[in-house]
Amino acid sequence: MATKQTPDPIVFIVDDDEAVRDSLSFLMRSVGLQALVYPSADSFLANCPGTSQPGCLILDIRMPGMSGLELQGMLNQRGCRMPILFISGHADVPMAVRALKAGAMDFIEKPFNDQVLLDAVQRAIEQDRRRRCDEAQLEHWYERYNTLTPRELEVLQWVVEGAANKVISRELGVSLKTVEAHRARVMDKLQASSLSQLVRMVVSLRQAHPELAPGYSSHPG
């Protein structure tokens, strides 16, 4: 089976200073990274390929029109989780704190050392890659979770709460062999190799999809 190719990461650069855009674009290309440049936040919003493209965003914090902080807020509202690296020619601590609290990965003052910025870009790209891998794994689990039958879901709930097979058998009014069979199918369908892995899967799924949580919280006894 062919392996799905992951698109190469892109470093998106938004800065109203053309010289800065050119310099940053050249710096990224010098280490083999793709770069797309935008002169304003509005231009980025109108022309960005979309959040499905892996990478990171280098964003000037002070720009005419929509500021970098305003663009960050808009991206957050849209659910975009691309890592953001702010650059600024002004030592503005309150702005830096606000940007970092809103989820920015780093805040770098101009003029900056090229290697410092490149290291930050590589960390941001790696963070984005890990997040995308985790989301893809979670989606895979979700698809497999939805193949469970109502009875298998019941058994899964008791298993996750720590109930022994004999307890599940008694509570559901089925034989021990039936519980064992359902439990085995649950493990197989979710591709869980151990009970601890199964529990982690279900906890992660319920955090991402609260509708999967059971309608009761009683612990089996």
Rg (CA), the chain: 24
Residue 182 half-sphere exposure, CB side, CA atoms within 13 Å? Answer: 22
Residue 216: what pLDDT? 37
Residue 217: what pLDDT? 36
Cβ(58)–Cβ(121) below 8 Å: yes
- What's the pLDDT tens digit per position in 186-202? 999 999 999 999 999 99
pLDDT < 50: residue spans in the chain: 1-3, 215-221
Residue 145's contacts (CB-CB under 8 Å, 6 or more residues apart) are 190, 205, 212
| Cut 0.85: pTM above it | no
Dist. CA 51–CA 139, nearest whole Å: 17
Q: Please, what sign has the CA dihedral across residues 124, 125, 126, 128?
A: positive
Residue 4: what pLDDT? 52
CA torsion, points 208, 211, 217, 221, in degrees to nearest 10?
A: -90
